[in-house]
Structure 1
Amino acid sequence: MDVEYQYRAAKLALSGGVNQYLLVSSSGANPDSNGSYLKMKGELEAKVIALNFPQTSIIQPSLLLGERADFRLGEKLASTLLPVICKLPALSKYRPITGEQVASKMCHIALHQTAHNKLQYYRLDELFNLN
């Protein structure tokens, strides 16, 4: 369902004349992944890319920090451990960030992405200068 709802939203946007589509995906998204979450995000990316928007921006953050309506034990543990573990240089690209940071960068992308970039990926370490 996660893929289908977001894919439908993208199709509606395209049919409504939207020229630039920004998709929040996940670091490590891959349609061939063994993990269900990363596989789902990879499948969604592929389906949105296939819609052929004039411009597509795929934002791939790591764990998003912030309040949740429901309790998720895995995310709670990760939000506690990842900031410490990701101090290691090789793991800095997996550093968790807030939803507000992602939204701010999405606004920046929407306003400043040039027309010659038909498909652009924004990975956490590149986009947020966390190194």
Structure 2
Amino acid sequence: MRRRANATLIALAIAAGSVMFSAPIASAATYCDNTGYTSISEPIERCTTLSNGVLVVHQASNGVVSTGYDKTGGSTISAQLGYSRSGTAHYANAVSISAGQKKSQTWSLGASAYCSSIIGLLKYSGGSYQTPASHC
């Protein structure tokens, strides 16, 4: 009986972990409504629709912040993804993004950063863009 209970608990833990790890972080989902929400409709993930794609910021409860860009059209760009917290911008190195590609960058800010106001950023030679602030 004890072995069966342990096997059941292990199976449940594995299933729970699979669900937890399958959740997207800055999925850069193509869906972004006109109020800046993605399909999850939660303030921890906010978005901006651009003429050639969707910019998304997502924050997780462990303090991980991700900014992603789903480029749906236009020519290839070299862009920096970033985030802004407490008025300070942080950018990753530039990456090349072509139509049909999704690129993202992740930063570990620590659990204390969770629920703070965090904005997703995209900067390239043609300009810069930002998402509405994500929060709890």
Name the TM-score, length of structure 2 as normaliser. 0.31
Q: Which structure would you say has the larger Rg?
A: 2
Higher normalized helix content (fraction of residues)? 1
Which structure has more relative contact order (CA 8 Å, sep 6+)? It is: 1
- Which has the larger share of strand? 2
